[in-house]
Amino acid sequence: MDFLVGPGAVVDLSDAAGDYDVYSSEMIEERVDVREGDILIIHTGYHRYGWDNPTADEIRYMVKHPGPDREFAEWAKRKKIKWIGVDCGSADHPMNTIIRDWMPRQAREADAHFQKKYGKKLSEYFSDDKYQLMHIEMFPYGIIHAECIGGDIDLLLNKRTTIGFFPWRFVDGEASIGRCVAVVEDEEFDQLMKKKTSLPKTRFGDAIGCSIK
């Protein structure tokens, strides 16, 4: 329980990282206070393209979302981050996974984007030695992640809070669905729910709180 629940931060990168972009530890620390041993939830804004949203776009949600490079992974290790949550299809950059092979048209788009923005071909930026680094290089350090987080995440952007994740009891399983929650004081909860009433909603009534790119 001490691993799954604890202090953490929710960072909003939706203003800094768009389709195929790479986000960094610097972007995160510019926006929220991240402390050693924290749980870190990364809000890219791409949960807005999930199937339950009025702006649903499965390709954008799974294939075009931003992601990190090795710099971020090394920073997370130094920070001794407990675990990471992301509001999109993968904690890895989608073009640093098998998706690059499965979706050749989007891979060509990403390659053009990387050459223009980062001055490197996609294959040079995410070379074979970096493949799926958020899985392969992080799990041995006990830094696992939760993907496809959504719900009312938009109510807690760039804030510190107590965060918990509660998966199914799944003996010897390698992954599980679960519920991600933030624990707040009653007064803050009332304020957040009041704020929520003025925001648009998903089909399940979750808040949609920031603009779409």
CATH of the domain at 59: 3.50.30.50
pLDDT at 114 over 80: yes
Does residue 204 lie within any of the structural domains? Answer: no
Query: Looking at residues 100-116, what average pLDDT do you find?
Result: 98
pLDDT at 138 over 90: yes
State the residue range of the domain holding 154. Answer: 5-197
- Counted domains in the chain: 1
Backbone angles phi, psi at 207, to 5 degrees: -70, 140
Tens of pLDDT along 154-166?
999 999 999 999 9
Tens of pLDDT along 58-86?
999 999 999 999 999 999 999 999 999 99
pLDDT at 132 over 90: yes
Does residue 133 lie within any of the structural domains? Answer: yes
Does residue 87 lie within any of the structural domains? Answer: yes
Q: Are 97 and 106 in contact (CB under 8 A)?
A: no
Tens of pLDDT along 15-61?
999 999 999 999 999 999 999 999 999 999 999 999 988 899 999 99
pLDDT at 213 over 50: no
pLDDT at 211: 47
Quick one: pLDDT band at residue 136, thresholds 50, 70, 90? Answer: very high
Does residue 207 lie within any of the structural domains? Answer: no
pLDDT at 116: 98
pLDDT at 117: 98
Does residue 203 lie within any of the structural domains? Answer: no
Please provide the distance, in angstroms rounded to a whole number, between the alpha carbons at the two ends of the chain.
37
**DSSP string covering 96-156:** GSTHHHH-HHHHHHHHHHHHHHHSS-HHHHT-GGGTTHHHHTTGGGT-EEE-S--TTGGGG
Does residue 156 lie within any of the structural domains? Answer: yes
pLDDT at 141: 96
pLDDT at 128 over 60: yes
Dist. CA 58–CA 124, nearest whole Å:
27
Average pLDDT, rounded, for the chain:
94
